[in-house]
Amino acid sequence: MTDRYNPQVIEHLVRPRNVGEIEDNHGVGESGDSACGDVSRFSVRMEGLRLEEVRYKVYGCAACIAAGSALAEMADGKTIIEAAAITSGDIEDALGGPLSKGKEHALTLVLDSLHKAFEDHWNRDFEALLADGGYLGNGESGKKTVVAAMSGGVDSAVTGLLLREAGYDVVAVTFRLHDGEPGSRSCCSPDTVLFARDTAHRMGLPHFTLNLKELFGTRVMSDFVGSYEAGKTPNPCVSCNAHVKFHAAAFLADRIGYNKVATGHYARVGEGPSLARPEDETKDQTYVLWPMPKELLARTIFPLGDYRKTEVRAIAEGRSLAVATTPESQDICFIPDGNYRKFVGKRIEAKAGEIVDREGNVLAEHSGIANFTVGQRRGIGVSAPTPLYVTDVRPTTNQVVVGRKKELEVFEIGVKDLNWFLDPEESASVQIRYNGEPVECDVSEGDYEDEWVVRFHEPVIGVAPGQSAVFYTDDGERVVGGGVVSRRG
Amino acid sequence: MNSPVYLDNAATTPLDERVFDAMLPYLRGARGNPSSLHGAGADAREAIEAARGHVAAMVGASPEEIILTSGGTEADNLALFGLARSAPPDKCHAVVSKVEHAAVREAAKRLEADGFEITWLGVDEYGMVDAREFSASLRDDTAFAAVMWANNEVGTIQPTMELAGICAERSIPFHSDAVQAAGRVGMDVGESLVSTLALSAHKVYGPTGAGALYVREGVEVSPILFGGGQENGLRSGTENVAAIVGFGEAARLAREEMAERAAHEGELRDLIIAGATEVPGVRLNGHPERRLSNNVHLTVDGVEAESLVLMLDALGYAVGKGSACSSSGHKASPVLEAMGQSEAEAFSALRVSTGKENTLEEVEGFLGAFAGCIERLRELSPIQAS
Integer angstrom CA distances of residue A469 from A88, A286, A423, B124, B141: 46, 11, 16, 72, 80
Test B382 with A19 for CB contact under 8 angstroms. no
Q: Which of B306, B377, B383 sits opposite A39 (nearest CB)?
A: B383
What element of type H or E holds B369? helix B360-380
Q: What is the pLDDT of residue A138?
A: 55
* Average pLDDT score over residue span B115-141: 97
Q: Is the pLDDT of residue A474 over 80?
A: yes
* Residue from the list A2, A10, A35 with its beta carbon closest to the beta carbon of B314: A10
**Distance (Å, whole) CA A444 – CA A424:** 8
At residue A141, the pLDDT reads 58
Q: What is the DSSP letter of B223?
A: -
What local confidence, expressed as pLDDT, does residue A110 receive? Answer: 96
Residues of A in contact with B383 (CB under 8 A): 34, 39, 59
pLDDT classification of A226: cutoffs 50, 70, 90: confident
Lowest mean pLDDT: which of A217-221, B137-141, B284-288? Answer: A217-221
- For residue B264, what pLDDT is reported? 98
- CA distances from residue B302 to A157, B157, B378 in whole angstroms, order as listed: 41, 28, 6
Residue A190's pLDDT is 60
Residues 6+ apart with CB under 8 A from A78: A50, A51, A86
- pLDDT for the residue numbered A371: 81
Average pLDDT, chain A: 87
For the segment A16-30, the average pLDDT, to the nearest whole number, is: 95
Q: Which segment of A213-217, A353-357, B213-217, B310-314 scores lowest on mean pLDDT?
A: A213-217
Among the partner-chain residues B310, B381, B383, the one whose CB lies closest to the CB of A5 is: B310
SS3 B225: coil
Residue of B nearest to A66 (CA): B307
Amino acid A126: pLDDT: 78
* pLDDT band for position A188 (cuts 50, 70, 90): low
Count of beta carbons in the 10 Å neighbourhood of residue A70: 27
Q: List CB contacts (< 8 A) between A2 and chain B.
A: 327-328
> Which distant-in-sequence residues (6+ apart) come within 8 Å of A475 by Cβ?
none
Query: Which residue type does A262 have?
Result: A
Neighbours of A450 (CB within 10 A): 13
**pLDDT confidence bin for B317, thresholds 50/70/90:** very high
Give the up-direction half-sphere exposure of residue A46: CA atoms within 13 A in the CB hemisphere. Answer: 21
* Contact status of A364 with chain B (Cβ, < 8 Å): no
Q: How far does the CA of residue B245 sit from the closest CA of chain A (Å)?
A: 29
> What is the C-alpha to C-alpha distance for residues B46 and B63, in angstroms, rounded to an integer?
13
> pLDDT digits over A404-425, tens only?
888 888 899 999 999 999 999 9
Distance from the Cα of residue A174 to its chain's centroid? 8
Q: Report chain A residues whose CB lies below 8 A from the CB of B312.
A: none
For residues B175-200, give the mean pLDDT: 96
Q: Do B381 and A59 make contact, defined as CB atoms within 8 angstroms?
A: yes
CA B319 vs CA B11, B289, B316: distances in Å: 9, 22, 10
Question: Scanning every residue of chain A, which has its alpha carbon at the shortest distance from the alpha carbon of B306?
Answer: A61
Does the interface ipTM go beyond 0.85? yes
Ramachandran category for residue B338: left, alpha or beta (phi over 0 → left; psi -120 to 50 → alpha): alpha
Say which amino acid occupies A150.
Answer: M
Contacts of A57 in chain B (CB under 8 A): 380-382
pLDDT of residue B221: 97
Distance of CA B310 to the CA centre of its chain: 24
Q: Which residues of chain B are within 8 Å of residue A72 when distances are taken between CB atoms? A: none
Q: Which residue of A has its CA nearest to B303?
A: A59
Do the bridges between strand A38-47 and strand A27-33 make them parallel or antiparallel, or are there none, so unpaired? antiparallel
pLDDT tens digit string along B254-280? Answer: 999 999 999 999 999 999 999 999 999
Instruction: Please list, residue by residue across B83-113, b when 16 or more beta carbons sit within 10 angstroms of its beta carbon and e when fewer do.
Output: bbebbeeebbbbbbbbbbbebbbebbeebee
* Model confidence at A134: pLDDT above 60: no
Q: Which residues of A touch B304 (CB under 8 A)?
A: 37-38, 59-61
For residue B313, the distance in angstroms to the closest alpha carbon of chain A comes to 9
Least confident of A43-52, A285-294, A304-313, B327-336: B327-336
Choosing among B1, B309, B310, which should be mutated to test the A contact, i.e. which has the most A CBs within 10 A?
Answer: B310
Q: Can you give the pLDDT at residue B386?
A: 45
Question: Where are the extended beta strands (E) located within B125-193?
Answer: 142-146, 174-177
- How close is the nearest chain A Cα to the Cα of B303, in Å? 7
DSSP designation for B32 = -
Of the residues B300, B307, B350, the best mutation for testing chain A's interface (the one with the most A CB atoms within 10 Å of its CB) is B307
Cβ–Cβ under 8 Å, residues A81 and A206: yes
Q: What percent of chain B has pLDDT over 70?
A: 96
Q: Given this model, what pLDDT does residue B325 score?
A: 37
Q: Which of A73-77, A387-391, B9-13 has the lowest mean pLDDT?
A: A387-391
Residue A183's pLDDT is 47
Least confident of A446-450, B33-37, B243-247, B302-306: A446-450
| A45 touches B370 (CB < 8 A) | no
Q: Across chain B, what does the average pLDDT equal? A: 94
Residue B224 has pLDDT above 80, yes or no: yes
B327 to A5: CB separation less than 8 angstroms, yes or no: no
Q: How confident is the model at residue A31 (pLDDT cuts 50, 70, 90)?
A: very high
Name the maximum alpha-carbon separation found in chain A: 84
User: For B307, which of A35, A57, A62 is closest by C-beta distance?
Assistant: A62
Whether A234 shows a pLDDT value over 90: the answer reads no
Domains in chain A, start-ordered, CATH in brackets? 7-117 (3.90.1010.10), 126-325 (3.40.50.620), 350-403 (2.30.30.280), 408-488 (2.40.30.10)
- Is residue B286 a contact partner of residue B126, using CB atoms and an 8 Å limit? yes
Which of A9, A64, A65 best probes binding to B when mutated, by most B CB atoms within 10 angstroms?
A65
Quick one: which of B354, B367, B185 has its CA closest to B268? Answer: B354
Task: State the best of B325, B333, B383, B386 to mutate against chain A, taking most chain A CBs within 10 Å.
Answer: B383
Percent of chain B with pLDDT over 90: 91
Give the minimum alpha-carbon distance from A337 to chain B in angstroms, rounded to a whole number.
34
Separation in Å, CA of A172 to nearest CA in chain B: 29
Contact at CB, A57 and B343, closer than 8 angstroms: no
Q: A67: closest CA among A6, A3, A1? A: A6
Do A35 and B314 make contact, defined as CB atoms within 8 angstroms? no
Residue A129 pLDDT greater than 80, yes or no:
no
Q: Which domains does chain B have, with CATH numbers?
A: 5-12+258-380 (3.90.1150.10), 17-254 (3.40.640.10)
Q: For the purposes of burial, counting CB atoms within 10 Å of the CB of A320, is it exposed (0-12), middle (13-18) or buried (19 or more)?
A: exposed
The terminus-to-terminus CA distance of chain B in angstroms comes to: 35
What are the chain A neighbours of B311 within 8 Å (beta carbons)? Answer: 13-14, 62
Task: Pick A321 or A196 by higher pLDDT.
Answer: A196
Contact A102/B314, CB-based, under 8 Å?
Answer: no
Whether the predicted pLDDT of A28 surpasses 80: yes
Alpha-carbon span B220 to B52, nearest angstrom: 20
Q: Write out chain B residues lying below 8 Å of A39, CB-based.
A: 381-383
Distance between terminal CA atoms of chain A?
A: 75
Is the CB of residue A460 less than 8 Å from the CB of residue A388?
no
Interchain pair B302, A2: CB under 8 A: no
Greater pLDDT, B264 or A355: B264
For residues A337-363, average pLDDT: 82
Q: What angle do CA B243, B245, B246 make, to 5 degrees?
A: 60
Amino acid A51 reads L
User: In this complex, which of A13, A16, A60 lies closest to B310 when CB atoms are compared?
Assistant: A13
pLDDT of residue B309: 95
Whole-number pLDDT of residue B328: 44
A14 interaction partners in chain B (CB closer than 8 Å): 311, 314-315
- Cβ of B304 within 8 Å of Cβ of A39? The answer is no
Pairing between strand A478-488 and A274-276? antiparallel
Q: Tell me which H or E stretch contains B314.
A: helix B305-314
Cβ count near B291 (within 10 Å) = 24
Indicate yes or no: CB of B311 within 8 angstroms of CB of A14.
Answer: yes
On whether any CB of chain B is under 8 Å from the CB of A21, the answer is: yes
Integer Cα distance of A141 and A164 in angstroms: 18
Q: How far is it, in rounded angstroms, from Cα B368 to Cα B21?
A: 36
Please check whether residue B122 is in contact with residue B100, taking contact to mean a CB–CB distance below 8 angstroms: no
Establish whether A333 is a catalytic residue: yes
Cis peptide before A273 (omega within 30 of 0): yes
Give the DSSP H or E segment for B318. strand B317-318
Q: What is the pLDDT of residue A441?
A: 93
Q: What are the distances in angstroms from CA A282 to CA A156, A435, A438, B233, B279?
A: 18, 8, 14, 78, 69
Helix B360-380 × helix B305-314 angle, to 10°: 130
- Give the one of A1, A14, A59 whose C-beta lies nearest to B314's C-beta: A14
Q: Residues A91-127: pLDDT tens digits?
A: 999 999 999 887 888 999 999 999 999 999 999 987 7
A448 touches chain B (CB under 8 A): no
Q: Contact B288/B124 with Cβ under 8 angstroms?
A: no
Measured in degrees and rounded to the nearest 5, phi and psi for residue B93 equal -130, 145
Q: What is the pLDDT of residues B146-166, one digit of tens each?
A: 999 999 999 999 999 999 999
